[in-house]
Amino acid sequence: MSRLLRCVATASLGLGLIAALPLSASAAEFTWSAPTDPQTMDPHEVNTTPVLGFLNNIYEGLVRRNAEMAIEGSLAERWEALGTDGWRFHLRKGVTFHDGAAFDAEDVYFSYERAASEASDTSSWFAPVREVRVVDAHTVDFLTHQPDPLFPDSIANFMIMDKGWAETNNAARPDKENATFASLNANGTGPFRLETREPGVKTVLVPHDGWWDTREDNVTRATFLPIGNAATSVAALLTGEVDMINPVPVQDIARIEATEGLTLHRGIEARVIMLGFAHQADTLLGGEAGSGNPLKDATVRAAIARAIDAKAIVDKIMRGNGAVASQLVSSQMKGYSEQAAERPAYDPEAAKAALEAAGLGDGLTLTFACTNDRYINDEAVCKAIASMLARVGVTVELTTMPVRSYWDTLRAGEFDMYLLGWSPGTFDAEHPVRFLVATPNPEKKLGSWNFGGYSSERVDTLLPQVQREIDPAARQAMLDEIAAIVQDETAYVPLHVQPLLWGSKSSVSLVQRPDNFFLLRWVTIAE
């Protein structure tokens, strides 16, 4: 075993990897790495890109996105609107799960009830749904509260589980706190099946020989290694221990590009990196007892936004990769507001004046929660923000942590300010409004990722109108109004659109989609 592989095993992945990794690999075996291990194998347990992206190799939905991000049929061959009442999906016949069980409408209905349950992290996807009806073994109706032209797009990551398998293994509902059989095991219909799962160490997938679709890949065995240390992952690629890494650290871009036999895959992700605030807290965690919450004041939030030089973050920390963001979606997304295209100007002097006018001339102390293994250069970005805010009299108590514990921290409200990245699953501006801006309402399944509790009565009024509006001009006008409200009230501080930076051996052909999902069904390895 090479010295580097021993380093990877002991420093980043655990000693158990040493005996597990193959000493050599055939041309069609594939190994890749990323810093974040998927938290679970349960497609309804955790709603994050590392989980959903990985599980799209194992599980399938009624629809899927192709290489160009267009919606196409998957477990549903076709679908049509039921007037204004919802959508009918005609299921594909002859599909089997990895264990050989037949797929039918009962699995769809079971998966809907499971994914829409309170225990599921994906329940908010089904806010528009009032009822699901099984018409026959291969036809299912999703009836909505109101006309919903975006519904098929919105369920591209709604993955179908086998009802019998889940119930037999006591996994009829997801359980993020205690985990279930489905948290460590999987039984999908997708192109790859789970062979072995060692959380934090490695996960191995092999082809599903009974897959209904035509294979485009030549992967015979795929091994995923979570490597948290950026230098270790680059070293593993340079020495050939792995075939692909995601992401390439920005400081190593030139090195990867200059190395013979390696390819840098560069693109722009749909993800906007932003800051969120504790809008509803009575007292800041970083403030003195009884000092109240100045972040409830929009002028204070606007001052913080003006104190942050987003262009400098892109130019220096991201080394020119990515783009400055002005709103919660990038300009490539449907519904992007040209009227909100200008980000409030960087102006530290104006920020100081605004803070003084708000009675904070003596300073302000904020706790700041940040990941250190989820987004590109996330910890460095947060440290830079803390430094920028210090220049205007805002003291930041920065806490960085791995993503595996981050979402629980945010849900517990243990922050005054926090870092968040958001990629709209529908590639439409309505998506972050529903999840991040709508007033949290578990009954209506709205605002499920609005950790700070931002609330706007006008946004809440406009959102259902946006969701049912068919006329493009009328819909865009409402999205423009929402974007203006979010920007004027500084509900969030958009920072930048994250770049896509993948590195691979030049023998590897792959598809780099802007949702940052890495799908093995498009991977080929040249001899």
Q: pLDDT per residue over 87-120, tens digit each?
A: 999 999 999 999 999 999 999 999 999 999 999 9
Q: pLDDT per residue over 211-253, tens digit each?
A: 999 999 999 999 999 999 999 999 999 999 999 999 999 999 9
Cα–Cα distance for residue pair 246/312, rounded to 1 Å: 24
Give the number of other CB atoms < 10 A from CB of residue 93.
12
470 band by pLDDT with thresholds 50, 70 and 90 = confident
Residue 55's pLDDT is 98
Give the pair of three-digit tokens for residue 429. Answer: 């501006």
Cα–Cα distance for residue pair 332/335, rounded to 1 Å: 9
Contact 189, 60 (CB under 8 A): yes
Q: pLDDT per residue over 438-462, tens digit each?
A: 999 999 999 999 999 999 999 999 9
Packed helices 457-468 and 472-488: angle between N→C axes, nearest 10 degrees: 160
Residue written as tokens 């192709």? 66
- The whole-number average pLDDT for the span 343-366 is 96
If 0-12 CB within 10 Å is exposed, 13-18 middle and 19+ buried, where does residue 331 land? middle
Q: Is the pLDDT assigned to residue 18 strictly greater than 80? A: no
Beta strand 139-144 with 86-91: parallel, antiparallel or unpaired? antiparallel
Residue written as tokens 């509902």? 173
Q: pLDDT per residue over 50-87, tens digit each?
A: 999 999 999 999 999 999 999 999 999 999 999 999 99
- Our measurement of the distance from residue 482's CA atom to the centroid of its chain's CA atoms, rounded to an integer in Å, reads 22
- The whole-number average pLDDT for the span 385-394 is 98
Cα–Cα distance for residue pair 424/433, rounded to 1 Å: 10
Contact 423, 374 (CB under 8 A): no
Q: pLDDT per residue over 44-54, tens digit each?
A: 999 999 999 99
Q: Is the pLDDT assigned to residue 6 strictly greater than 90? A: no
Q: Is the pLDDT assigned to residue 9 strictly greater than 70? A: no
Closest to 454 measured CA to CA, from 424, 489, 484, 423: 489
If 0-12 CB within 10 Å is exposed, 13-18 middle and 19+ buried, where does residue 443 land? exposed
DSSP-assigned letters across all residues of 127-189: TTEEEEEEEETTEEEEEESS--TTHHHHTTT-B---HHHHHHTT-SS--TTT--HHHH----S
Q: In this predicted structure, which of 287-296, 319-328, 412-421 has the lowest mean pLDDT?
A: 287-296
Q: Is the pLDDT assigned to residue 4 strictly greater than 70? A: no
Q: Is the pLDDT assigned to residue 290 strictly greater than 70? A: no
Residue written as tokens 């119930």? 167
Classify 197 as helix, strand or coil. strand
- The whole-number average pLDDT for the span 14-29 is 42
25 band by pLDDT with thresholds 50, 70 and 90 = very low
State whether the Cα torsion 454-318-370-444 is positive or negative: positive
Domains of the chain: 3-243+507-525 (3.40.190.10), 268-499 (3.10.105.10)
Q: pLDDT per residue over 355-371, tens digit each?
A: 999 999 999 999 999 99
Q: pLDDT per residue over 31-46, tens digit each?
A: 999 999 999 999 999 9
C-alpha angle 227-231-237 in degrees, rounded to nearest 5: 70
- The whole-number average pLDDT for the span 287-309 is 91
**% residues pLDDT > 70 (the chain):** 94
Q: pLDDT per residue over 191-222, tens digit each?
A: 999 999 999 999 999 999 999 999 999 999 99
Give the pair of three-digit tokens for residue 439. Answer: 């007033």
Summary mean pLDDT of the chain: 93
If 0-12 CB within 10 Å is exposed, 13-18 middle and 19+ buried, where does residue 78 land? exposed
Residues in contact with 21: Cβ distance below 8 Å, sequence separation at least 6, in sequence order: 1, 5, 9, 202, 223
Classify 16 as helix, strand or coil. coil
291 band by pLDDT with thresholds 50, 70 and 90 = confident
Residue written as tokens 């990722």? 449
Residue 289's pLDDT is 60
Residue 451's pLDDT is 98
Cα–Cα distance for residue pair 389/400, rounded to 1 Å: 17
Residue 12's pLDDT is 35
Classify 492 as helix, strand or coil. coil
Residues in contact with 99: Cβ distance below 8 Å, sequence separation at least 6, in sequence order: 162, 165, 187
- The whole-number average pLDDT for the span 146-152 is 92
CA atoms within 13 A on the CB side of 69: 17
- The whole-number average pLDDT for the span 19-25 is 35
